Amino acid sequence: MKVGFLGTGLMGTPMVERLLNQKISVIAYNRTLEKLAPLQQLGAKTVNSPEQVIQEADCLILMLTNAAAIQEVLGLNSEQSNFNNRTIIQMGTIAPSESKQLRDQIVAKGGEYLEAPVLGSIPEAKNGTLLVMVGATEKQFHQWSNLLAYFGQKPVIIGEVGTAAALKLALNQLIASLTSAFGLSLAFLSQQGVDIEKFMTILRQSALYAPTFDKKLTRMLEENYANPNFPTKHLLKDVNLFLEESEKLDLTTFPLTGVERLLEKALAMGLAEEDYSALYEALKKEL
């Protein structure tokens, strides 16, 4: 089996490396071609067009920025595109409605589609310990679970296409809400002159504690947001998707709209490419 991989950014690159380390044959494409060079050195076949990947691979894994990028790279609006005898596994973060639309378009062009978004970051991608959530038929899940297990040892089927995408957005909403809430407490206590380590000692012993707080604490205190595992701009994208999907469901989203404005402020401060913990700067400072 030859696996095609479209999108070799922050997450895609270590995921391809993981496959190569497991002796899986990979043909890779990225819109920024320079990002392919390290993978070529590791043994991946790299190409200049997604059409070559579609032609040569049995299965295509997508780790692209958003649904618009997927539409563009796959050429879904082209009458010439077809995916006969090809399976597309979408592993990025998109909206449930977008995932269902992609399924319908790909099936109409002769292919199969399933979604398998992941929770985790670059270290987990390198180690094969991502949490893999699958939206697919039972048949598709059993057919492709061994491949998905290279990224996370126990892929979990959530339901049909759309359900895994929804779960991933719900989890990323928690990332945004928890991090902004923690950052606000941290900024408040810093201004009040409270010893932060005493705060953390109490917090760690309470039911309020989440491990992500300690993961972001040093970055916030040192104002060091470089070398992100998950950039601020991507978290804002996911928050916007969650809000758009929630509006269709008539959910009240006032708490999250505040986080959205906070992330927009962080981008206006030039922090789009920094680690999303940079939202702490937006909490502390006026533009």
Task: Please list the active-site residues.
Answer: 168
Q: Which residues are within 8 A (CB) of 150 and not within 5 positions of it... i.e. 6 or more apart?
A: 18, 19, 22, 24, 128
In whole angstroms, what separates CA 154 from the centre of its chain? 18
